[in-house]
Structure 1
Amino acid sequence: MSVTPAAADADTRRPWWSSPYLMLVMPPLFWAGNAIAGRLVAGEISPLALSSVRWALAILLLLPLTAAGVRRQWPVIRRRWKALAALGILSAGLYNLLLYMALQTTTAINVTLVNSAMPMTIVLVSWIWLRDRPSGGAMAGIALSMVGVAVVVSRGELAVLLGLELHQGDALMLLAVLVWALYSVMLRAHPPGLTPGVFLTVQMSAGLLFLLPFYGVEIALGGGAVPLTWEMALVLAYVATGPAIGAFYFWNRGVAEAGANTAGLYINLLPVFTAVLAVVFLDEVFRWYHAAGLALIFSGIALATLRRPRAR
């Protein structure tokens, strides 16, 4: 029986809320909240303690929902444990630890500026590793999005960009950018072969197992304490749910469907979302350059993801 083009198109239609492009908007929104939360407790808890406790709580929340799936898919996990461990160590282990360490010694504006190198870094890693050569539209979209980021972090003034000073944390953030680019491209090159919830559980577990020995050493040396305050409890509850479970779930799905290069563009939404959340939680003011940066970033994303009509 033959299938008409109209029927085939109808079969491939999907609900708007399951679009990979909508999914990719969610991670930078959650990560913006993560940056706000990290700044709130930067002087009260060490990066190792925050990372370790965060993933431990996230696993405790997720495991009751995914334990049965982990048992069913254990043969796949055992067969592919090396690739799965590498993905977990790069993402849950190293990236977030480096981000929290960077926030200890540099400003949020510097972290945002360094993070804007993420899309280009993902494109370069993808080009070298997968021979995935970007199109001219993709490169133009990346450039336009980076201009939008520069508008936001400079508050629309060139003098602010020229006056930025580099700190030790900037180097740590550059390393974090490279780590996340490697993770994103590896996710595309070596799909986990697991359902999203099971992969997320394995990914977090691998990252936590990587962090725990270092955290144990920190505790043995007299550090690593977690203050028992309501503010800390709220911060830990948030970073263990939104940035941990939600952001990683949507990022993994988005990369699998849209590709690492396209996904990288959405990270440029991070400074805009951070500014919006700062208005809500830190009583900052949303200004014209935030709106201008948002428009440029979305224009860059649209330019990079534009597709020509397919020939029938």
Structure 2
Amino acid sequence: MRNERSWAVAGLVICTLAWAGNALVARATAGELPPIGLSFWRWTTALALLLPFTVRGLWQHREVLLTRWKHVVVLATLSISSYNTLLYQAAQSTTAINLTLVNTGLPVAAFIWSVLLLRIWPSVLTLLGTLLSFLGLLVILGNGQPERLLSLAFNRGDLIMVVAVLCWGLYSVLLRHWMLPMPGLIQLAALLICGVPLLLPFYLWEYSTTGGMPLTIQAVGAVGYTAVFASLLAYWAWNNGVRVLGPATASLFSYLMPVFAALLGMLILGEQLQWFHFAGGALTFLGLVLATRPGHAR
């Protein structure tokens, strides 16, 4: 059991790292790649890569999928069709740091949905861990200067991201509540089979109004990264983390996204790490250690 929790924690760390990179890709390609087109081809590519390895499993679990098809459709709509499409749309008018900042509202969204739908309240350790992680986030955002937090600005893209976070929080809670009795990759393949067709009408509308995806190195790289790392790897890790740790605890790992965004900014953009990055990151990790201790309520 402890080993399973350790793997779940490690997977969630990798997941948030991949999603921090996804936010940077979204912002870097804003204005160059159509947001719905990027989302559609990302998931279509992920489905094409995953399907050959899961066809047999999908057939073996066909009775469960047919019986629970309404659950599968709702989960696919909230995750595959909605969340990342909204994120890419939000990236058209906000910054990568704001994308990761608003995304840290996920623990609040998961908490609200857990209380409203499941009547589940977090433990004291979870609340304490949440507080420490949030303080770490504020240290990073304010560059170690509390007064700088007052100058943070939010716009239309940030509001779109709020809707995306509410969708993802609901998805995480329902994913645990409607636990599907099948391996994670089989479940992901089922969500992709439902989610991609749901995206198709919106992609066709975007194609008719603004044009399709350009065939460029930038487009291929963006689709490749998001399909493999931000989709297949990250979604499998997230779903496993929710299954093992619960949605409330798993959602706390969203606090790592600004930390990883700062690290990626240093590695990719040549930005310098400052003392407040280390201090904020330490508080964030300490909060996650407390929140993921075995034995607390989920």
Same fold (TM over 0.5): yes
* Aligned-CA RMSD value: 1.7
Q: Among all aligned residue pairs of Structure 1 and Structure 2, give the percentage whose two residues are the same amino acid.
A: 40
Q: Residue 135 of structure 2 contacts residue 283 of structure 2 at CA under 8 Å; is this kept in 1? A: yes
- CA distance in structure 1 between the aligned counterparts of 2:75 and 2:178, rounded to whole angstroms: 9
Provide runs of 4+ in structure 1 moved above 4 Å. none
Alignment partner for residue 136 of structure 2, among 106, 127, 148?
148
Per the alignment, residue 222 of structure 2 pairs with 235
Is 1:71 aligned to residue 67 of structure 2? no
SS of match in other structure, 2:120: coil
Q: Residue 120 of structure 1 contacts residue 142 of structure 1 at CA under 8 Å; is this kept in 2? A: no
The alignment of Structure 1 onto Structure 2 pairs a total of residues equal to 296
Q: Displacement of 1:288 after TM fit?
A: 1.4
Describe the shift of the 1:128–1:79 C-alpha distance in structure 2 as closer, same or farther (beyond 3 A): same
Alignment partner for residue 23 of structure 2, among 22, 35, 41?
35
Per the alignment, residue 276 of structure 2 pairs with 289
Per the alignment, residue 237 of structure 2 pairs with 250
Amino acid at match of 2:242: V
Describe the shift of the 1:256–1:164 C-alpha distance in structure 2 as closer, same or farther (beyond 3 A): same
Q: Displacement of 1:207 after TM fit?
A: 1.7
- Alignment TM-score, normalising by the size of structure 2: 0.94
Per the alignment, residue 112 of structure 1 pairs with 100
Amino acid at match of 1:69: G
Per the alignment, residue 286 of structure 2 pairs with 299
- CA distance in structure 2 between the aligned counterparts of 1:13 and 1:101, rounded to whole angstroms: 39
SS of match in other structure, 1:105: coil
Per the alignment, residue 201 of structure 1 pairs with 189
Q: Displacement of 1:100 after TM fit?
A: 0.8
Q: Displacement of 1:160 after TM fit?
A: 2.5
- CA distance in structure 2 between the aligned counterparts of 1:224 and 1:299, rounded to whole angstroms: 47
- Alignment TM-score, normalising by the size of structure 1: 0.90
- CA distance in structure 2 between the aligned counterparts of 1:105 and 1:19, rounded to whole angstroms: 36
Per the alignment, residue 123 of structure 2 pairs with 135
Describe the shift of the 1:275–1:186 C-alpha distance in structure 2 as closer, same or farther (beyond 3 A): same
SS of match in other structure, 1:284: coil
Per the alignment, residue 161 of structure 1 pairs with 149
Amino acid at match of 1:95: Y
Amino acid at match of 2:49: L
Give 5+ residue unaligned stretches, structure 2: none
Q: Residue 107 of structure 2 contacts residue 252 of structure 2 at CA under 8 Å; is this kept in 1? A: yes
Higher Rg: 1
- CA distance in structure 1 between the aligned counterparts of 2:152 and 2:3, rounded to whole angstroms: 45
Instruction: Output one character per residue of 1:75-120: Cα deviation in whole Å (capped at 9) or x when no partner.
Output: 1111111101111110111000111111111122322222222112
Describe the shift of the 1:113–1:22 C-alpha distance in structure 2 as closer, same or farther (beyond 3 A): same
Q: Displacement of 1:308 after TM fit?
A: 6.3
- CA distance in structure 2 between the aligned counterparts of 1:127 and 1:181, rounded to whole angstroms: 12
